[in-house]
Chains A and B, each alone.
Chain A
Amino acid sequence: MDFSLSKEHEMARKLFRDFAETEVKPLAQETDETEVFPQETVDKMAKAGFLGISVPKEYGGQGCDPLTYVMCVEELAKVCATTAVIVSAHSSLCCDPILFYGTEEQKQKYLVPLAKGEKLGAFGLTEPGAGTDAQGQQTKAVLDGDEWVLNGSKCFITNGKVADVYIIFAVTDVVEDKKGRKKKIISAFIVEKGTPGFSFGTKEKKMGIRGSSTYELIFTDCRIPKDNLLGNLGDGFKMAMHTLDGGRIGIAAQALGIAEGALDRTIAYTKERVQFGRSIAAQQNTQFQLANMATQAQAAQMLVYRAAMAKATQKVYSVEAAMAKLYAAEAAMDITTKAVQLHGGYGYIREYEVERMMRDAKITEIYEGTSEVQRMVISGSLLK
């Protein structure tokens, strides 16, 4: 078993790191402070091909493997978790399902501009009453002639107001199972911004990833062409779960990046900070804490990279993705909390990046499946 990266992957990492340090890092603090979506950075990422990394070249993408994509999200998250989730939601949750389930026409119309970064993507599954429990979906789609009519709302949608193309899940039927219980049949649709009847609700004010555009989406008699059904009618739930398997690898990479970024800053800080006549890095408590943090970060990286490789080589990778997200998210929370502690009072001050990183880390334990959901997925595979 060889854990070394190929020359290609090493060079890709260098590219992502250079870009992150030069273009993203200088704006990270301001993005957090002002809660303004970093459009200029997104335009630069589009130009550099970062918005279509794992989309095949014939659809305008870069044709790289999931590991390359994961390294991009990781390196961006080291300096700015907001920028990382913009890429992750766009790529994993919008490009991937169109690539996987879209018709050739849908790929040409939607995937090509998404992969080139001319358009940005989003994904709408969550509703006020349907988070972990996707059966709680209230949004409905009814076929009326050549059009689907959507009614309902989605909440906490990443890239909410800035996206151009949305993958929206809605109930298309309700059936009774053998025991007489009602079961909602869910389907997926591609909805374009600007469609009459599609509007935005309030912008969420968040604890972290504050530059990310998180909005409520509202559908009121929103009519979309019949052809905008994505995949088979009634396959929506299965497609959402499959898409989230990939999404979780992206969020795991984001969590990994946050953890590594916090560790890097803490190593530098503890070498500089002098207390009792010597640097706090010379104190054994600091050394042991750093050792634990670094070991957790490494373990997280191995799980995340393994999940990425599983996505490249396996048909089903739910457990690998769940383990990577569960571990990396909890590692990120733990490492950033320790990073703040080792920074002492300065760690609580906004001027120091670890303060932001600790707030950013928290969401990785929640979105695209909470840590509890990941445990359900993992244990489900153990006990089936």
Chain B
Amino acid sequence: MKIVVCIKQVPDTAGEVKFKPDGSLDRAAMLTIMNHDDKAGLEAALRLKDQYGAEVTVLTMGLPKAEDVLREALAMGADNAILVTDRVLGGADTWATSSTIAAALRNLDYDLIITGRQAIDGDTAQVGPQISEHLGIPVISYAQNLKVEGDSVIVERQFEDRYHVLKAKMPCLVTALSELNEARYMTPGGIFDAFKKEITVWGRADLKDLDDANIGLAGSPTKIAKASDKVRKGAGTKVSDLGAAEAADYIVNTLAEKFVI
């Protein structure tokens, strides 16, 4: 079985968020991690590998720096890593991203594609399902459990307070929730092996069946009107020496003045 896991390097929320003048994230300037849902997807693939034997390839699109998450994935146990990077691909929205990644996937053999449900920076949950549309394969999203049976996958799809059980014939695409599993740690030896492995790097020229109108910032129908960092609040007003009733009146009046109530 050949599994491709699409992963994304996202800002570490423990660090600072920085924007470029055009409103898109300044990824090069931020601390980064592997997106949580994607990590769960990778773990699911690695468990299938442990159980049935599979070749696990990780693929990411991003800055050259995104190599870090690919090395991490290799250190966890992935077999191959592909970095899709090119200046002309920068600033892509979900449409341009999914078009590009689908083109990269056309270069590969796969039975199962796993993506995270959504990335913590954009929170759209669109890229996975869009890739499946581009490739013309079935998609099961929001996987909270995943099994392989013969040439099919059986997936528990989270749905409000319950879940659906769906079966799809491979090749297909599954989007993983972080609740799917607890991802393993890298191993120390795996880290050193990961740096000995070659990472395949593809640029625009390596991607076939891809219209230039569908890539990068120019090929993105989404336009960011405005983006800003968290606005710092003022110091506020401190009121002391009021009794309980007076304090309650004060709060009600203040909220009314500000049209909150």
Q: Which residues of A contact B (CB under 8 A)?
A: 7-8, 11-12, 15, 18-19, 47-50, 53, 57, 61-64, 68, 72
Q: How far is the CB of B193 from chain A (nearest CB, A)?
A: 9
A–B complex contacts, Cβ < 8 Å, 23 sampled: A7-B195, A8-B195, A11-B71, A11-B75, A11-B191, A11-B194, A12-B188, A12-B191, A12-B192, A15-B75, A18-B185, A48-B184, A49-B187, A49-B188, A49-B190, A57-B189, A62-B187, A62-B190, A62-B192, A64-B188, A64-B189, A64-B192, A68-B188
Known A11-B72, A47-B184, A49-B190; further 17 A-B contacts with Cβ < 8 A = A7-B71, A7-B195, A8-B191, A11-B195, A15-B188, A19-B185, A47-B185, A48-B184, A48-B187, A49-B188, A49-B189, A62-B187, A62-B192, A63-B192, A64-B192, A68-B192, A72-B188
Quick one: given A8-B195, A11-B71, are A62 and B185 in contact (CB under 8 Å)?
no
Residues of chain A within 8 A of B75, CB atoms compared: 11, 15
Residues of chain B within 8 A of A19, CB atoms compared: 185
Provide the bound-state CA to CA distance between A7 and B75, in Å.
13
Q: How far is the CB of A215 from chain B (nearest CB, A)?
A: 29
Residues of chain A within 8 A of B195, CB atoms compared: 7-8, 11
Q: Which residue of B lies closest to A18 (CB)?
A: B185
Q: Which residue of A lies closest to B68 (CB)?
A: A11
Provide the bound-state CA to CA distance between A57 and B189, in Å.
8
Residues of chain B within 8 A of A50, CB atoms compared: 188
| CB <8 Å contact, B191 and A63 | no
Q: How far is the CB of B74 from chain A (nearest CB, A)?
A: 11
Provide the bound-state CA to CA distance between A298 and B210, in Å.
53
Q: How far is the CB of B200 from chain A (nearest CB, A)?
A: 19
Residues of chain B within 8 A of A7, CB atoms compared: 71, 195
| CB <8 Å contact, A8 and B189 | no
Provide the bound-state CA to CA distance between A47 and B185, in Å.
9
**Which among A7, A8, A50, A72 has the greatest number of chain B C-beta atoms within 10 A?**
A8
Q: How far is the CB of B36 from chain A (nearest CB, A)?
A: 13
Residues of chain A within 8 A of B194, CB atoms compared: 11
| CB <8 Å contact, A11 and B189 | no
Provide the bound-state CA to CA distance between A7 and B192, in Å.
9
Q: How far is the CB of B198 from chain A (nearest CB, A)?
A: 15
Interface bits B164-200 vs A (CB < 8 Å: 1, else 0): 0000000000000000000011111111101100000
Task: Determine the main DSSP class of B at the interface with A.
Answer: helix
Residues of chain B within 8 A of A49, CB atoms compared: 187-190
Residues of chain B within 8 A of A18, CB atoms compared: 185
Provide the bound-state CA to CA distance between A344 and B50, in Å.
52
Residues of chain A within 8 A of B72, CB atoms compared: 11
| CB <8 Å contact, B192 and A8 | yes
Q: How far is the CB of B224 from chain A (nearest CB, A)?
A: 32
Provide the bound-state CA to CA distance between A53 and B191, in Å.
11
Provide the bound-state CA to CA distance between A62 and B189, in Å.
4
Q: How far is the CB of B47 from chain A (nearest CB, A)?
A: 13
Q: How far is the CB of B229 from chain A (nearest CB, A)?
A: 23
Residues of chain A within 8 A of B192, CB atoms compared: 8, 12, 62-64, 68
Provide the bound-state CA to CA distance between A12 and B72, in Å.
10
Q: Which residue of A lies closest to B75 (CB)?
A: A11
Provide the bound-state CA to CA distance between A8 and B189, in Å.
10
Residues of chain A within 8 A of B189, CB atoms compared: 49, 53, 57, 61-64
Q: Which residue of A lies closest to B72 (CB)?
A: A11
Provide the bound-state CA to CA distance between A18 and B188, in Å.
13
| CB <8 Å contact, B71 and A15 | no
Provide the bound-state CA to CA distance between A19 and B194, in Å.
19
| CB <8 Å contact, B185 and A53 | no
The 7 closest A-B pairs by CB, nearest first: A62-B189, A49-B187, A48-B185, A62-B188, A64-B188, A11-B191, A8-B195
Provide the bound-state CA to CA distance between A7 and B185, in Å.
17
Q: How far is the CB of B182 from chain A (nearest CB, A)?
A: 10
Residues of chain B within 8 A of A68, CB atoms compared: 188, 192
Residues of chain A within 8 A of B184, CB atoms compared: 47-48
Q: How far is the CB of A257 from chain B (nearest CB, A)?
A: 16
Q: How far is the CB of B37 from chain A (nearest CB, A)?
A: 18
Q: How far is the CB of B78 from chain A (nearest CB, A)?
A: 15
Residues of chain B within 8 A of A62, CB atoms compared: 187-190, 192
Q: Which residue of B lies closest to A10 (CB)?
A: B191
Q: Which residue of B lies closest to A19 (CB)?
A: B185
Q: Which residue of B lies closest to A22 (CB)?
A: B185
Q: Which residue of A lies closest to B189 (CB)?
A: A62
Q: Which residue of A lies closest to B185 (CB)?
A: A48
Q: How far is the CB of A68 from chain B (nearest CB, A)?
A: 6
**Which among B72, B189, B195 has the greatest number of chain A C-beta atoms within 10 A?**
B189
Provide the bound-state CA to CA distance between A131 and B195, in Å.
44
Provide the bound-state CA to CA distance between A330 and B253, in Å.
62
Q: Which residue of B lies closest to A50 (CB)?
A: B188
**Which among B185, B186, B190, B195 has the greatest number of chain A C-beta atoms within 10 A?**
B185
Residues of chain A within 8 A of B186, CB atoms compared: 11, 15
